[in-house]
Structures are given as structure tokens and as C-alpha cells.
Amino acid sequence: MPPEQPRPLLDVRDLTVSYGGLRALVGVSLSVPEGCVVALLGANGAGKTTTLRAITGLARPSAGAIEFDGVRIDGRRASQIARMGVLHVPEGRGIFPSLTVRANLEMSRQLVGGGDDLVDQGIERFPALGRRVEQLAGTLSGGEQQMLALARVLIARPRLVLLDEISMGLAPMIVAQLFDEVKAMAAAGVTILLVEQYVNAALELADYVYVLDKGRMVDVGEPADLQEDGVLASYLGS
Ligand SMILES: Nc1ncnc2c1ncn2[C@@H]1O[C@H](COP(=O)(O)OP(=O)(O)O)[C@@H](O)[C@H]1O
Ligand SMILES: [Mg+2]
């Protein structure tokens, strides 16, 4: 990032993460400017999920640094990082299936210690959930579960949201609805780092795109530049 740019909200430098003998990430750097949407793309197994897990404190880097708002967060506990405003919708569904919708939202409220009205605000914002507040989250449809995951993140007053393939396994119409919610979140000023298999949807939303290949960062640019250069096609086979 050029020196005249303001400090990025998230700055990942030379990150290496290993699982036993396997190096899942090698010297990965990326930065997310405040108020921007950044997409992280790459084939299956490229290391996208591992990158998000390292940022949220769920995977331990063996080298490198992660700064959030100018503060080193690598080595901190996941709960501590979440309280700083870094919220994660993990791969799969970021909900507690055996709790009700309301209890799921209540847990997010407790994370930030907000007032009771926070839960009601979350329910109001997602009318589909409002009709199902007493239903067990695991009995919601896949799309509703992802809506709940987004509502949980919003209630926690995020500064940075990490989204890991929220469209996975969902019908295109539902994916479009979810992306409308992500767009609204971005328009409200939330900074977003998103991992997606729906490359086109991600490119439409993103200000910047990073491309991971076999644990290494191979490209970064604005969506139009990467598409023009054929970079995405060569790494994603699309
Ligand atoms: N818990 C784990 N234990 C061992 N290897 C893992 C684990 N999680 C991921 N990996 C490996 O690390 C590499 C990167 O995985 P991942 O970050 O999940 O990629 P992506 O999200 O891009 O598909 C892959 O080779 C994967 O098999
Ligand atoms: Mg993944």
C-alpha cells in the first residue's frame, strides 16, 4: 500500500501457518482498508479458510504479524479478538443449531454487553427470522441459517466482518438475498473480508481482490484489472 494511504484497518504481513508438517500458508500478506470490501479468492485448498482462522485467533501462525487498527492481534485469544470487533461467519454455518433463534442472537448481544434492544433490532432487520424467534436454529433452512449468522455478526457491532463462503450449498436466489444483506452491511460502513466460491458475486461487491494459490498470495488488484489480465481464470479455472 502506498505511504500516502491511511493505515489499513487490517494488516496481515508474511503470515505462515502449518498443520503438522503441512504449510497451509507461506508468507501471506494482505491489507483491508477501512470501509472497503476485499475478496479473497482461490481454488479449493488454497488456504482461504486458514487465513480467516488465523485472523480470528483460531489458527496459530508460526511466523508473521496481524494488526487490527494498529494493534497486534496474533497470539491473542479468539474471544478477545471478537470483542475488539472482528467477527467471523465461519465455513459451514456460524450458528448454534440446538439453540433457538433468539438465544443465538442473545449470545451475540452478551459478547458486546449491549442492551436488550439489540436483539430486537436484529430481529427487525431480518423479518424472515422474526417469524421464527422461538424455533431451534438447526431447523431453519440453509438460507435462513446464514441470515441468522449475519444477524449474529451485526448485533455484535462489528468493525471488520470475515465471511467464509456464505453462499455454499444455497440456491442462487437465496445467495442473491444474502449478498444484498452483505451489500447493505458494506453501505453502512462495515469493513468486509470475504471468501467466496461465487466469484462473480464477489467481484461485483469487492473494491480489491486477492488471489491465493497453494498457500501463497499470487495476485492483488481491482476486480476489473484481474479479470482483464485473465489472472482469475488461470487460478480458479473459471
Ligand atoms: N485442520 C486441518 N488439519 C490439517 N490440514 C488442514 C486443516 N485445515 C486445512 N488443512 C489443509 O490446509 C490447506 C488449506 O486449507 P483451507 O484453508 O481450508 O483452504 P480453502 O479454504 O482455500 O479451501 C489444505 O491443504 C487443507 O487440506
Ligand atoms: Mg475454505
pLDDT of residue 36: 96
Average pLDDT of span 228-236:
78
Three-state SS at 49: helix
What span, in angstroms and rounded, lies between the C-alpha atoms of 191 and 162?
9
pLDDT of residue 62: 96
Distance, in Å, from the CA atom of 225 to the CA atom of 110, rounded to the nearest integer, reads: 43
Please give the angle made by the CA atoms of 186, 187 and 188, to the nearest 5 degrees.
90
**22 CA to middle of ligand 1, Å?**
9
Average pLDDT of the residues in 70-75: 96
| Residue 122 or 81, more confident | 81
Residue with the three cell numbers 444483506: 181
- Which residue's CA lies nearest to atom 2 of ligand 1? 19
3-state secondary structure of 13: strand
CA 42 to ligand 1: nearest atom: 22
- Consecutive H or E run containing 124: helix 117-125
199 residue type, one letter:
V
Tell which one of 12, 48, 49 to mutate to probe ligand 1, the residue whose CB is within 8 A of the most ligand atoms: 49
- For residue 48, what pLDDT is reported? 97
Digit-coded pLDDT (tens) for 30-47: 999 999 999 999 999 999
**Phi, psi at residue 118, to the nearest 5°?**
-60, -40
Looking at residue 69, what is its pLDDT?
Answer: 97
Ligand number nearest CA of 24 is 1
Q: Say how far apart CA 131 and CA 43 lie, in whole Å.
A: 38
Ligand 1 mutation pick, 19, 25, 210, max ligand atoms within 8 A of CB: 19
Nearest CA residue ID for atom 16, ligand 1 = 47
Q: Does pLDDT of 181 surpass 80?
A: yes
Mean pLDDT of 13-30: 96
* Domain layout of the chain by residue ranges: 1-85+158-238, 93-156
Q: Is residue 49 within 8 Å of residue 91, measured between CB atoms?
A: yes
Measured CA to CA, the distance from residue 77 to residue 199 in angstroms comes to 32
**Percentage of the chain modeled with pLDDT above 90:** 72
1-85+158-238 maps to which CATH number? 3.40.50.300
pLDDT tens figures, 87-126: 999 998 789 999 999 999 999 998 888 888 888 888 888 8
Please report the pLDDT score of residue 115 as a whole number: 82
Residue of the CA atom closest to atom 25 of ligand 1: 45
Residue in 25, 38, 37, 32 with CA at minimum distance from that of residue 6 = 32
Distance CA 95, CA 70 (A): 30
| Mean pLDDT of all residues in 52-68 | 97
**For ligand 1, what atom is nearest to the CA of residue 50?**
17
Q: What pLDDT was estimated at residue 4?
A: 57
Distance 80 CA to ligand 2 centre (A): 23
List the one residue out of 68, 96, 24 whose CA is nearest residue 159. 68
* Ligand 1 contacts CB of residue 48 (under 6 A): yes
Model confidence band, residue 56 (pLDDT cutoffs 50, 70, 90): very high
Confidence check: pLDDT of 25 > 80: yes
Report the predicted TM-score, pTM, of the whole model to 2 decimal places. 0.93
Percent of the chain surpassing pLDDT 70:
97
The letter for the amino acid at 217 is M
pLDDT-derived band at 237, boundaries 50, 70, 90: low
